[in-house]
Structure 1
Amino acid sequence: MRRFEPTLHELHFRSKPVGGPVEQDKRTLRAETRRSRRSHSTREREALTEGLTQNLVSVVRAHEPALVACYLSTPDEPNTRPFLEWAVGHSVDVLLPVSRPDGQLNWVFNHAGTEKVGLYGIAERAGEPVPNSVIESVDLMIIPAAAVDKSGVRLGWGKGYYDRTLAQLTHEPPIFAVVYDGELRERIPREDHDRPVGGVVTPTQILTFG
């Protein structure tokens, strides 16, 4: 598993306030990600999904977690569904998020199987939410992203659900964001509320950040 150590220049960049219209820059990056993801052919998606699944399995095997938090991918996201099927078949307990109107997340077990349409028209696992305290027992978190930079700054999709969740954790497990290779960037504009990740998983590589 390759480690990515930030350079002094990157540390200097992260320590300074990001000037200019940061939110506009973020919206532009999100739009670029959506366009790029939608340009993939069916054959490309299949190959990317195979590589991503193998790498997600490798991350789980390396960390040997008793409980994992992951997510149910949308059609525009790197496909986590084969990994979730593997987890069920290998008795790996996985929690999946359910968005709440108040901007917080509930969590349900992956093995519930059936799906429902949640907020924003996004598919979610049906099932009884676990007590909120259970998320503190997670040993590994695998979360979505629009992009990640090489110092661990994550660009989310603008709703802030994961930033709030990560900020509330009293015990932070290893956190990996999932993106395609072209979405690993040199630098991403960062605001005070943006929570960094400890690593990234793509269809071709697993990186951890120093």
Structure 2
Amino acid sequence: MMKKIMRKELLTKRDGLTEEEVLHKSASAFQQLKASSVYNNANNVMVYLAFRNEVSTEEMIKDLFSRGKRVFIPLTVPETKQLIISELLDMEKDLEIGNFGVLEPKEEAIRPVDPKVLDLVIVPGVGFDKQGYRVGYGGGYYDRFLPRLSPGTPTVALAFEVQLIEKAPTDEYDFPVEYVITEKQFIDCKKIDLK
């Protein structure tokens, strides 16, 4: 219940950002990510496609393509609550509006891969605490997906400052991310003191 109320409050806060703020703050968050070794060392990057005022990932996808990196995007399978990871080759040609109103690969552009090939995963969410726990959209897709990555694969949440919370309600299925990056800070969640 607690999570539901929190999710609603966080979405309201995020929805309150203007388009200009979203673009400006997204660019700042991306600059922080771009300066990091986790980003620069990665070759196979999974990126979400932003919707509803999420931190925009369009510039990142263009940047990855321009560096000759491989880009992968999630495809939700509502029946099983699984994510299929599909390689994105062309933002113009490969995508259509899919489940939940999110851009997803068209049927003929689904190129599934084993999550173990990924060496960086950008994780969406509604809210995050500094330990890397998230309030998601309630489907549990990422909590099921993240344990399937190769051990040691860096996971990064992109968020706006308004999405940071003191503590996310957690249960044993919740899988924290390693880094949370906002327009103002780069948080290494593994180094956060829990006191």
Unaligned ranges ≥5, structure 1: 1-23
Shift of the 83–169 alpha-carbon distance from structure 1 to 2, 3 Å rule, reads: closer
User: Does 2:68 correspond to 1:86?
Assistant: no
**Equivalent of 1:176, from 130, 153, 156?**
156
User: Does 2:124 correspond to 1:130?
Assistant: no
Cα offset for 1:63?
A: 4.8
User: Does 2:138 correspond to 1:158?
Assistant: yes
CA distance in 1, matches of 2:52, 2:36: 23
CA distance in 2, matches of 1:61, 1:173: 9
* Partner in structure 1 of residue 193 of structure 2: none
Cα offset for 1:182?
A: 2.2
Cα offset for 1:58?
A: 2.2
8 Å Cα contact 1:163-1:193 kept in structure 2: yes
**Corresponding residue SS for 1:75:** coil
CA distance in 1, matches of 2:77, 2:38: 31
RMSD: 1.8
CA distance in 2, matches of 1:60, 1:110: 23
Paired positions, count:
185
8 Å Cα contact 2:23-2:56 kept in structure 1: no
8 Å Cα contact 1:166-1:172 kept in structure 2: no
Cα offset for 1:170?
A: 4.7
**Corresponding residue SS for 1:151:** coil
Q: How does 1:23-34 map to 2 (within 5 A)?
A: 24-34=1-11
8 Å Cα contact 1:67-1:92 kept in structure 2: yes
8 Å Cα contact 1:179-1:202 kept in structure 2: yes
CA distance in 2, matches of 1:42, 1:76: 8
* Partner in structure 2 of residue 203 of structure 1: 183
Percent of aligned pairs with the same residue? 26
TM-score calculated relative to the size of structure 2: 0.86
CA distance in 1, matches of 2:87, 2:29: 21
Cα offset for 1:82?
A: 1.4
